[in-house]
């Protein structure tokens, strides 16, 4: 640690996530610039770091910033556009036509800004983005000092972003070059899904993933229909096809995975692939039930994502952790499955690991980036407190988030979102609503 400790976050409880399940009482997290320098008892911290700014978190639990491992943030502007519809009606008659009308840099920028505000207010400090216009995405996240992993999109259809396979590759690689070396923004290769990407593209993506050390972020086995269609078209299940193409490896971020054979779970575990579970989206679109507890037991790195606001309809990682834990118990017929400490790990460290950021964020240990979320636990809704981690997962709402730091910079202070004009965000959202609703 070269830089001096400049902030002491003095918390009633610190939950570092590493080691697993630990709750430290009356501990301080000492920050030096953008990094965590030390975690130690408050009294010792005050004696050691006499010049640091002290931040009083005496009613708070301090946790790693939440990592939303799958989202489509521009679609925040389509929150609730078309609910309670079958998947294909929803997509083909509402979402895609609306997107076709508004897709462009301004839409992506404004949607992401609204999303950043929502994520910060809810304690999320990093997201795994998946949409078009990755250049606009990256620039928007950087402008707001928000940590993001931006997907470079590949799909065998023309879009506002690119018109042909070659153009997707060319433009995406140019974006990768443009933002290489950024501290807060990194990239994934993001082929949309097995059913929308051809083998030839997958082969190029696999090669790029190896050469550039980039994760591959993809929707896989979202529905039973997808699996059946693949069997007809390719003679194998989507995961089998990806395996044959060399993509089932430790770069794979497989999202949804509601349809899994035990052999596929073993295969993912053996390959070191990550799975992103999006329980609320899977329920809302009636996609199926991800066998989350089985994946966990098999040793697969399991992260959590909200999916986009058109199918959730929020970016609330507290709610998503809770739903993941509850649903996993129901699906596994085991009330001890997917316990609270694991849910918190899935919403933080496992997300970081999936995004190839496991060495930098996701837990509160010395040397990692200071991405931190403070949660007030003195609300009546979280009284009394028997077990802090349980309370965070099963009883805490995101409105109890009081303070957020990304790379040591304060983004939310005592409940106030910094750096955004809420009235302006609302105004822009309403303007987009007028444009979208007329075609939705």
In terms of Cβ atoms closer than 10 Å to its own Cβ (0-12, 13-18, 19+), residue 272 is middle
| 314 belongs to the binding site for its own copies (CB under 8 A) | yes
| 23 belongs to the binding site for its own copies (CB under 8 A) | no
For its own copies, the binding residues in 63-82 under the rule CB under 8 A are 77, 79-82
Number of residues that bind its own copies (CB under 8 A): 69
Nearer residue to its own copies within complex by CB, 369 or 391: 391
- Give the nearest distance from C-beta 185 to its own copies in angstroms: 23
Nearer residue to its own copies within complex by CB, 190 or 292: 292
Nearer residue to its own copies within complex by CB, 243 or 428: 428
Which of 152, 295, 332, 372 is close enough to bind its own copies by CB under 8 A? 332
| 327 belongs to the binding site for its own copies (CB under 8 A) | yes
- Give the nearest distance from C-beta 30 to its own copies in angstroms: 29
| 19 belongs to the binding site for its own copies (CB under 8 A) | no
Stretch that binds its own copies, among 37-45, 62-70, 190-198, 325-333 (CB under 8 A): 325-333
| 47 belongs to the binding site for its own copies (CB under 8 A) | no
| 438 belongs to the binding site for its own copies (CB under 8 A) | no
| 87 belongs to the binding site for its own copies (CB under 8 A) | yes
Nearer residue to its own copies within complex by CB, 83 or 166: 83
For its own copies, the binding residues in 275-294 under the rule CB under 8 A are 280, 282-286, 288-289
For its own copies, the binding residues in 107-136 under the rule CB under 8 A are 114, 117-118, 121-122
For its own copies, the binding residues in 351-410 under the rule CB under 8 A are 378, 380-387, 390-391, 394-395, 397-399
- Give the nearest distance from C-beta 344 to its own copies in angstroms: 12
Nearer residue to its own copies within complex by CB, 81 or 265: 81
Distance CA 27, CA 23 (A): 10
Q: What are phi and psi of 217, to 5 degrees?
A: -105, 115
- Give the nearest distance from C-beta 215 to its own copies in angstroms: 28
Q: Which residues contact 254 (CB under 8 A, 6 or more apart)?
A: 218, 220, 221, 239, 268, 273, 274, 275, 276
| 97 belongs to the binding site for its own copies (CB under 8 A) | no
Catalog residues that contact its own copies under the rule CB under 8 A. 77, 79-87, 90, 114, 117-118, 121-122, 280, 282-286, 288-289, 309, 312-314, 316, 319, 323, 326-327, 329-330, 332-337, 339-340, 378, 380-387, 390-391, 394-395, 397-399, 422, 425-426, 429-430, 432-433, 436-437, 440
């Amino acid at each position: 640690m070269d830089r001096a400790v400049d902030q002491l976050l003095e918390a009633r409880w610190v939950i570092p996530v590493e080691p697993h399940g630990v709750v430290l009482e009356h501990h301080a997290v000492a920050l030096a610039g953008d990094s965590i320098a030390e975690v130690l008892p408050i009294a010792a911290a005050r004696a050691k770091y006499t010049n640091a700014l002290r931040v009083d978190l005496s009613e708070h639990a301090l946790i790693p910033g939440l990592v939303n491992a799958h989202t489509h943030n521009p679609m925040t502007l389509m929150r609730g556009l078309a609910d309670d519809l079958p998947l294909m009606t929803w997509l083909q008659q509402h979402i895609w036509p609306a997107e076709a009308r508004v897709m462009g840099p301004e839409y992506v920028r404004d949607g992401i800004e609204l999303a950043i505000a929502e994520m910060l207010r809810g304690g999320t400090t990093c997201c795994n983005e998946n949409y078009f216009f990755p250049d606009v995405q990256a620039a928007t996240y950087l402008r707001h000092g928000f940590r993001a992993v931006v997907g470079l999109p590949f799909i065998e259809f023309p879009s506002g972003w690119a018109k042909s396979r070659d153009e997707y590759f060319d433009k995406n690689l140019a974006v990768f070059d443009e933002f290489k070396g950024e501290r807060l923004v990194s990239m994934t290769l993001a082929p949309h899904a097995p059913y929308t990407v051809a083998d030839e593209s997958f082969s190029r993506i696999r090669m790029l993933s190896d050469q550039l050390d980039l994760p591959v972020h993809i929707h896989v086995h979202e529905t039973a229909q997808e699996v059946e269609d693949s069997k007809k078209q390719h003679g194998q299940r989507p995961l089998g096809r990806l395996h044959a193409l060399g993509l089932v490896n430790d770069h794979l971020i497989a999202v949804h995975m509601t349809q899994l054979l035990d052999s596929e779970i073993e295969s993912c575990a053996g390959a070191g692939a990550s799975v992103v579970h999006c329980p609320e989206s899977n329920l809302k679109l009636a996609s199926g039930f991800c066998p989350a507890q089985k994946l966990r037991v098999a040793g697969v790195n399991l992260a959590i994502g909200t999916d986009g606001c058109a199918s959730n309809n929020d970016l609330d990682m507290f709610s998503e952790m809770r739903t993941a834990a509850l649903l996993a118990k129901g699906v596994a017929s085991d009330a001890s499955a997917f316990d609270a400490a694991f849910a918190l790990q899935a919403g933080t460290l496992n997300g970081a690991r999936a995004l190839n950021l496991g060495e930098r964020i996701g837990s509160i240990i010395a040397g990692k980036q200071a991405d931190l979320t403070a949660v007030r636990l003195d609300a009546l809704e979280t009284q009394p407190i028997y077990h802090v981690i349980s309370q965070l997962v099963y009883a805490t709402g995101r409105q109890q988030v009081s303070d957020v730091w990304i790379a040591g910079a304060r983004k939310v202070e005592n409940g106030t979102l910094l750096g955004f004009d809420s009235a302006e965000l609302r105004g822009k959202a309403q303007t987009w609503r007028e444009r979208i609703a007329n075609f939705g």
